[in-house]
């Protein structure tokens, strides 16, 4: 085992990224969660990324290197970039066949780049265009084809849902940062936008 989260029992273990695998490992009949169909995930992910663009454009440049929260070593700049890097990493796996490794979505921007919210939002334009191009050209929109991940072969649908809610969770956090700064978020994600995604219950989980 080199990555977390992991659920272990004796010498046996399963990675925690796929909760259906975890449920089977501990003897449950599934998690009870029904993933949204890929076409709905597409709409929700693009809605999420556009919301993140609006929020990043509101971030004061002079505060962009502050920590998102005090007890985690990630700056607002890195968080904003990460929201869109999740999408770029997904495309590298779905389109280019790159194995979805644990750090693929966490590759940070080079020093001296993406130093303003506007620059990060423009990066989002490229990621959104890439997702739209991939989806519009996808022959099998069931997304049941297998892709390589560090926790074994997985249906593309599983990685698509995971990437969607991952971006959404961090976009919720960006809105909370703006509120802490006394800035009203520009059309943050709504409960309807998030409905059906298996998000953590709390904002900072």
CATH of segment(s) 35-194: 1.20.120.450
Position 31 scores a pLDDT of 62
3-state secondary structure at position 183? coil
Position 115 scores a pLDDT of 97
CA 15 to chain centre: 18
Q: Domain-by-domain residue ranges, the chain?
A: 1-33, 35-194
Position 2 scores a pLDDT of 54
Q: What is the pLDDT of residues 182-199, one digit of tens each?
A: 999 999 999 999 999 999
CB neighbour list of residue 44: distance below 8 Å, 6 or more residues apart? 36, 164, 168, 193, 194, 196, 197
Distance CA 118, CA 17 (A): 32
pLDDT < 50: residue spans in the chain: none
C-alpha dihedral over 86, 149, 202, 177, to 10 degrees? -20
Q: What is the pLDDT of residues 152-172, one digit of tens each?
A: 899 999 999 999 999 999 999
Q: Is the dihedral of CA 53, 58, 61, 63 positive or negative?
A: negative
Closest residue by Cα to residue 188 from 85, 203, 200, 130: 203
Confirm whether pTM is higher than 0.75: yes
Position 83 scores a pLDDT of 98
Position 81 scores a pLDDT of 98
Residue 94: other Cβ atoms inside 10 A:
22
Distance CA 185, CA 141 (A): 34
Position 55 scores a pLDDT of 98
């Amino acid at each position: 085992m080199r990555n977390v989260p992991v659920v272990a029992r004796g010498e046996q273990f399963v990675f925690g990224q796929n909760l259906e695998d975890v449920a089977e490992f501990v003897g449950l009949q599934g998690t009870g969660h029904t993933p949204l169909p890929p076409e709905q995930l597409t709409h929700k992910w693009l809605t999420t990324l556009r919301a993140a663009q609006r929020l990043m454009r509101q971030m004061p440049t002079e505060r962009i290197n502050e920590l998102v929260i005090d007890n985690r070593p990630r700056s607002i700049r890195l968080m904003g970039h990460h929201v869109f890097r999740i999408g770029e990493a997904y495309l590298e796996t779905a389109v280019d066949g790159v194995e979805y490794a644990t750090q693929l979505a966490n590759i940070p921007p080079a020093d001296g780049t993406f130093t303003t919210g506007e620059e990060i939002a423009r990066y989002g334009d490229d990621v959104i265009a890439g997702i739209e191009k991939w989806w519009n050209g996808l022959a099998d929109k069931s997304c049941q084809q297998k892709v390589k991940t560090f926790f074994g072969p997985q249906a593309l649908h599983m990685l698509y849902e995971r990437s969607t809610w991952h971006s959404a969770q961090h976009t919720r956090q960006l809105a909370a940062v703006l509120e802490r700064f006394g800035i009203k978020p520009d059309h943050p994600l709504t409960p309807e936008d998030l409905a059906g995604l298996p998000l953590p219950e709390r904002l900072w989980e």
